[in-house]
Amino acid sequence: MLDILEKSSATIISSSINKMKLLKTAEKFKADSGQEYNPGDLYMKNVDWVFERIGHFLKTDDAKVIFEARGKKESRRIQNVLNEAKKDGTFYHPREWFKNISNEVLFFTKKDNVNGIQIADYCTYPFARHAKDPEDTDNKLFDLLRTYVYKGDFGEYGLKEWP
């Protein structure tokens, strides 16, 4: 898998949520305000952040977006995130940055054996593990994969970790 990454000149854009840290944030918010903290749909929030960073990465290049199929409802929701970015832009980027992304998100199953889906699956655990514990010095695969993260105009713009 690492050989494929190297030969393809891959660029990784990742979004991870540290759920334990989010839970503490929610508890603090409730203690301070007396109200429930509603972070929204965490999966769609991650999808939105990935599209935002893809828009930044591509700016003027043509692209197709591929996702692993999860079900018709989820696929529709993912497609809607792209539609909104293409229509209105995102909080940080104008819609022009998304105009060269194909209008249709392509969905494949694991059985389709698509290299991009396999690479994404391969990268998921090390990135999630890093978001959960950035001080983990035994996450060697993350250290290696990190060299493929999109740098952007500053730092590691392709590595979104929240909160």
Q: How many domains does the chain have?
A: 1
Would residue 110 count as lying in a domain? yes
Is 44 a residue whose pLDDT tops 80?
A: yes
Would residue 33 count as lying in a domain? no
Q: What does the longest C-alpha to C-alpha distance in the chain come to? A: 53
Would residue 100 count as lying in a domain? yes
* pLDDT tens for each residue of 95-115: 999 999 999 999 999 899 998
Q: CA 137, CA 124: separation in Å to the nearest integer?
A: 17
Q: What is the pLDDT of residue 7?
A: 86
Would residue 34 count as lying in a domain? no
* pLDDT tens for each residue of 49-62: 999 999 889 877 89
Is 4 a residue whose pLDDT tops 90?
A: no
Predicted confidence band of residue 88 (pLDDT cuts 50, 70, 90): very high
Q: What is the pLDDT of residue 136?
A: 94
Predicted confidence band of residue 92 (pLDDT cuts 50, 70, 90): confident
Is 160 a residue whose pLDDT tops 90?
A: yes
Query: Which residues touch 98 (CB under 8 Å, ≥6 apart)?
Result: 51, 55, 82, 85, 86, 89
Helix or strand run (H / E) with residue 123: helix 115-132
Domain that holds residue 93: 2-28+39-162
